[in-house]
Amino acid sequence: MSTTKIAVITGGSRGLGRDMALKIAEKEIDIVFTYHSNLEAASEVVKTIENIGRKAKAFQLDTSNIKEFDSFYQKLTTYLINDYGTEHFDFLINNAGTGIYKPFTETTEDDFDDMLNIHLKGVYFLSQKAIPYLNEGGRIINISSGLARFSLPNSSAYASAKGGVEVFTRYLAKELASKKITANVVAPGAVGTDFGGGENRTNEKKVNTISNLTALGRVGEPEDLGGVVAFLCTEEARWINGQRIEVSGGIFL
């Protein structure tokens, strides 16, 4: 049976998840990741990881649709058994997500459901269904947001879901301790990705405002984040549990 460690990352095709996948692969960990619709981006990530010298596999998954999860784990475990001789893996990184910027007074029930489904309910049940397959000593890393600690207008539904995932992570850390599985949250500040229509890259006013609020004076890049998540997948990070690690260059200090 293989002794290779394996990480499963949701939303690994672009943005933060892509950089996490590359940085984790550099730690000599094999990668399975999901994408939603961008097969081309997913294929590029697979090739880049293979060039690093690790195995990588991409699966399509809508992480807001709990009904897809059983068939996802069926496909994942079939792949793991075929390629590694085990249905187990070591790290689950719940990263996939979309954003909606709308004032509280204009947020619809559908908007709210979209945010809850992708950022909380999906994370909750994808994690629950992962437990039979997570090795002892495994880790769950959930991606939250600085917006769960401080408030900026137009993100009430998104940030409420992220707040929920932070509470959920502390419960995971407590309830999975008997299996020696740890759970932590990484909370990025604003990062220049495609997220929320790419505003953190293209909206000059917003970029300036965030830069001025941030001690290190700029918006984050995906490369500021991936290595932190990769560190949480190392032996050195084994005693970190139930924590929220904000990676924001120091915003709203």
Ligand X SMILES: NC(=O)c1ccc[n+]([C@@H]2O[C@H](COP(=O)([O-])OP(=O)(O)OC[C@H]3O[C@@H](n4cnc5c(N)ncnc54)[C@H](OP(=O)(O)O)[C@@H]3O)[C@@H](O)[C@H]2O)c1
Binding site for ligand X (CB under 6 A): 10-11, 13-17, 34-38, 41, 61-64, 95-98, 118, 143, 145, 188, 190-191, 193-195, 200
Q: Which residue is nearest to ligand X (CB)?
A: 15
Grouping H, G, I as helix, E, B as strand and the rest as coil, residue 171 is: helix
> What's the min distance (Å) between Cβ of 136 and ligand X?
27
Q: Write down how long the chain is.
A: 253
> What's the min distance (Å) between Cβ of 194 and ligand X?
4
The two three-digit tokens of residue 20, written as one number = 């996490």
> What's the min distance (Å) between Cβ of 27 and ligand X?
20
Residue number with CB closer to ligand X (138 or 192):
192
Nearest Cα neighbor of 122 from 83, 168, 174 is: 168
Integer Cα distance of 236 and 216 in angstroms: 27
Whether 84 is catalytic is no
Integer Cα distance of 187 and 97 in angstroms: 13
> What's the min distance (Å) between Cβ of 217 and ligand X?
16
Q: Beta-carbon neighbour count of residue 12 at 10 Å?
A: 32
Residue number with CB closer to ligand X (2 or 151):
151
Whether 145 is catalytic is yes
Active-site position among 57, 64, 158, 248? 158
Active-site position among 145, 155, 160, 248? 145
Give the phi and the psi of residue 23 in degrees, each rounded to 5.
-70, -35
Active-site position among 64, 144, 160, 248? 144
- List C-alpha distances in Å: 155 to 44, 147, 162, 163: 31, 8, 10, 12
Whether 144 is catalytic is yes
Grouping H, G, I as helix, E, B as strand and the rest as coil, residue 78 is: helix
Whether 67 is catalytic is no
Residue number with CB closer to ligand X (4 or 44):
44
* Residues acting as catalytic residues: 144-145, 158, 162
